Amino acid sequence: MYIERFLEKQVLFSIESSLNPAILVYGPRQVGKTTLLNKIMERISLKTKFVACDDPAVKNAFDTFNIESLKRFTANTQLLVLDEAQKVPQIGTILKLIIDYIPAVKILVSGSSSFELANQLSEPLTGRKITYLMYPISLFELYNKEQSIELKSSVDYYLRFGLYPKIFHFSDEQSLENYLIELTGDYLYKDIFEFRQVRNSEHIRKLLTALALQIGQEVSYTELSNLVGIDHKTVISYIDLLEKSFIVFRLPAFARNRRNEINKSRKVYFYDMGIRNALIRNFNEMKYRDDKGHLWENFLIVERMKRDSALGIKKNYYFWRTYEQQEVDLIEEYGGTLKGFELKMKDTKHKGSQFLETYIGSTIDNITMENFEDFVQP
């Protein structure tokens, strides 16, 4: 079953527009990047060359390179497609040489982590690249606005099993659970384990499990340090690596005007609910869970980010809380305005009235099971 990804159109437009010689597609492992590249190659009229960079033979072939060897390598090629490009040493220099000396060749690159690839490409390709983040499948890629009933009836399932492309290949829940549990083993964070700063993979797993149990709550690095058995600085470093591997993301606290606003706190959420639930081995239906409110909050924030990405909108995202427990689940800062959202499964009176008084012109909306479609769909 192939589900057309919105990113297809964006990447195709970028290739055909000739505005940027290099296009980078980041995203977690198993999110469908290779499938996306293949679909683009099917639809593009350019002569393409596909390179799987995790193939040892390919990595060895790039060990010694110069302009002439790269010209031979890209001969009769209009679009060079490099999958998992972070596996190639000095990939930034290689791509810079191609752009500088073989300008007729466009480049499409994918990577499952950004801590190596982004570092290698940031300086060599400044002003010469466009970057996309490929999320797990979004609700708006599955349902249109006329399918409200189908969408609402399926939410429980996606809160339990997430939206990785492969979940649609399973006909029974036990096989799906086994797949997700296996995925949360070493494979999902393979890039982190291979990274030179990580010495103990068990610490990464313990940290992820601790974070999975704290979604929707403010995270204390000191508390995580005690739980996992590593020092405070290492906790911060590992969360940074998990974020750059697109497994989790941090939501900072918003604070600007008031002394009683919490301004140094953060929450950590997961890009996919299936991954989160696999870490704690809990795939129960929502009616049997005491964490359903936090799951719903995490789910809506990610779906909103997918929506904004599809629309090409870049926002700043925060949560807001005061020491007196006034709070707003999600704050969006965009175009000089502040919009707040309370993300509850059922409609309740929000606790952020002080936010509206402090930030004149801001708004707060309640997003529930009854009205979430417009919140997640373009």
The DSSP-derived string for 102-143 is -TT-EEEEEES-STTHHHHHHTTTTTSEEEEE-PSPPHHHH-
CA-to-CA separations, 327 to 6, 148, 175, in angstroms, rounded = 33, 30, 40
Q: Rounded CA gap, 223 and 160, in Å?
A: 27
Determine the residue type at 18.
Answer: S
Q: Rounded mean pLDDT of 349-365?
A: 86
- Indicate the range of 116-120, 161-165, 189-193 predicted with least confidence: 116-120
Q: What SS3 class is residue 336?
A: coil
User: Is 352 a residue whose pLDDT tops 90?
Assistant: no
Q: Look at residue 302 in the predicted model and tell me its pLDDT.
A: 97
Q: How confident is the model at residue 323 (pLDDT cuts 50, 70, 90)?
A: confident
Q: Where are the domains of the chain?
A: 6-133, 139-376
- Give per-residue pLDDT as tens, 269-289: 999 999 999 999 999 999 999
Q: Rounded mean pLDDT of 345-363?
A: 84
Question: What torsion, rounded to 10 degrees, do the Cα atoms 286, 166, 169, 178 define?
Answer: -60
Q: How confident is the model at residue 303 (pLDDT cuts 50, 70, 90)?
A: very high
Q: Treating both helix axes as pointing N-terminal to C-terminal, what angle do 221-228 and 232-244 enclose, rounded to 10 degrees?
A: 100
Q: How confident is the model at residue 257 (pLDDT cuts 50, 70, 90)?
A: low
- Give per-residue pLDDT as tens, 199-212: 677 888 899 999 99
Q: Rounded mean pLDDT of 232-242?
A: 89
Q: Which CATH superfamily is domain 6-133 in?
A: P-loop containing nucleotide triphosphate hydrolases (3.40.50.300)
Q: How confident is the model at residue 71 (pLDDT cuts 50, 70, 90)?
A: very high
Q: Rounded CA gap, 232 and 364, in Å?
A: 35
Instruction: Tell me the average pLDDT of the chain.
Output: 88
**The model scores a pTM over 0.85:** yes
Q: How confident is the model at residue 155 (pLDDT cuts 50, 70, 90)?
A: very high
Q: How confident is the model at residue 375 (pLDDT cuts 50, 70, 90)?
A: very high
Q: Which of 212, 214, 192 is nearest to 201 (CA)?
A: 192
User: Is 227 a residue whose pLDDT tops 70?
Assistant: yes
User: Residue 215: which residues within 8 A CB-CB, separation 6 or more?
Assistant: 267, 268, 269, 270, 276, 291, 294, 295, 297, 298
Contact 210, 263 (CB under 8 A): no
User: Residue 363: which residues within 8 A CB-CB, separation 6 or more?
Assistant: 338, 339, 340, 356
Q: Rounded mean pLDDT of 191-200?
A: 69
User: Is 360 a residue whose pLDDT tops 70?
Assistant: yes
Q: Cα 323–297–157 angle (5° rounding)?
A: 160
- Give per-residue pLDDT as tens, 98-129: 888 998 899 999 988 776 666 666 666 666 77
User: Is 264 a residue whose pLDDT tops 80?
Assistant: no
Q: Rounded mean pLDDT of 185-193?
A: 75
User: Is 63 a residue whose pLDDT tops 80?
Assistant: no
Q: Look at residue 197 in the predicted model and tell me its pLDDT.
A: 64
Percent of the chain at pLDDT exceeding 90: 56
